[in-house]
Amino acid sequence: MPQLGFGVWQVTDEEATTAVAKAIEVGYRSIDTAMIYKNEKGVGEAIKNSSVPREDLFITTKVWNSDQGYENTLRAFDESLERLGLDYVDLYLVHWPTPQFDEYVDTYKALEKLYHDGKVKAIGVCNFEIEHLERLLKECEVVPVLNQIECHPYLSQKELKEYCASHNIFVEAWSPLEQGGEVLQNEEIKLMANAHKKSPAQVILRWHIQNNTIVIPKSVTPSRIEENFNVFDFELSGDEMAQIDNLNKNRRRGKHPNEMNFR
């Protein structure tokens, strides 16, 4: 799985086709979508029209909260596959644990079946806290390959990252740029950007990459799609990394996973 991928949250079906086509043209090979984004069809169109072989692309999608449960998940996966127009996906994720409904273990067991049946290359989760991961590790067979979580300089997720690393679970950051929020105006980050002749967004993406975090920045603007990909020709110093680490405020843009129980 490429460490830098392309996200399509809050992108319409029509926009997704154009944006993903541009991303693939720029060099992205990992595309992250989900049933609830309602753009799997648009993503699939871009994949179908691309000259890049399917085996060179890494496609992720997710089962939504309302489709949790063993049988529901199997059905939801088939529907996602049909919308994408694919024979398999590379990574299938449980979108939220929704602990109030207590179905995430059965949901994950459905993912294990899909994995054993060869319909997905890998399985994992999104937005799982340590308590949810501990339960999966006790009750299921396949260790999640990845936990996709909200993560940016104002929510560094140090404890959760350390737990995942100790169990060989990769961490992937959604909203890696804090949804284009206040962090992009941070004076320390702007100074680093000027020093490296890069944008604040590129500096933050580089911070993620040097922290061994997988990132999926989203944009529908062609110039930003290119800019976000251009982060492999410079390196942040140890001091710069520490400066960004110290910006943590434990501040979320999204809901805490234990509160995200709507369907």
- Is residue 70 part of the annotated active site? The answer reads no
Return d(Cα 71, Cα 120) in angstroms, integer: 16
- Reduced 3-state DSSP string for the chain: CCCECEECCCCCHHHHHHHHHHHHHHCCCEEECCHHHCCHHHHHHHHHHCCCCHHHCEEEEEECHHHCCHHHHHHHHHHHHHHHCCCCEEEEEECCCCCCCCCHHHHHHHHHHHHHCCCEEEEEEECCCHHHHHHHHHHCCCCCCEEEEECECCECCHHHHHHHHHCCCEEEEECCCHHHCHHHHCHHHHHHHHHHCCCHHHHHHHHHHHCCCEECCCCCCHHHHHHHHCCCCCCCCHHHHHHHHCCCCCCCCCCCHHHCCCC
Tokens of 190: 């702007």
Helix or strand run (H / E) with residue 21: helix 13-26
Tokens of 261: 């129980």
Q: Which residue has the tokens 């871009």?
A: 46
Q: Which residue has the tokens 């996709």?
A: 148
SS3 4: strand
Find the catalytic residue in 37, 104, 108, 154.
Answer: 37
Known catalytic residues are 37
